[in-house]
Amino acid sequence: MFEPTSRYAKLACQSLATTGPDGAPREIRYVERRFLPPPDAGTTIVEHTVIEGERLDQITAKYLGDPAQFWRVADANGALRPDELTDQPGQRIIIALPQL
């Protein structure tokens, strides 16, 4: 259902049989809840200082080679809202690789 590099790739998919507002049966598919790992769960490769106008996907592409992996940087910094990592120019963020 998800790409192998997705943050949801290892989570189980579930389905729920229910009835829609029109009385017709319908199936709702969902993924189990994902809990954030502890921020120190990975290996820090660099600390990056945010500059004005920089976006997290740009930073992630620079260090991890894939802008879609922004969630790894958010996890390493304990950020629930990834955009908060680049709100403040001069802020330092950790770029880490997950432990396997």
The domain of 27 spans 1-35
The residues with which 28 forms a beta bridge, in sequence order, are 16
Domain count, the chain: 2
For residues 50 and 87, membership in a common domain is answered with yes
**Phi-psi domain of 41 (left: phi exceeds 0; alpha: psi -120 through 50; beta: other):** alpha
Q: Which residue blocks in 24-90 are alpha helix, DSSP H?
A: 56-64, 70-76
Query: 74, 94 in Cβ contact below 8 A?
Result: no
For residues 93 and 44, membership in a common domain is answered with yes
- pLDDT surpassing 70 at residue 8: yes
Confidence tier at 100 by pLDDT (50, 70, 90): low
User: Distance between CA atoms of 48 and 91, rounded to whole angstroms?
Assistant: 8
Q: pLDDT digit string (tens) for 21-76?
A: 999 999 999 999 888 888 778 889 999 999 999 999 999 999 999 999 999 999 99
For residues 24 and 44, membership in a common domain is answered with no
Residues with Cβ within 8 Å of residue 71, at least 6 apart in sequence = 7, 82
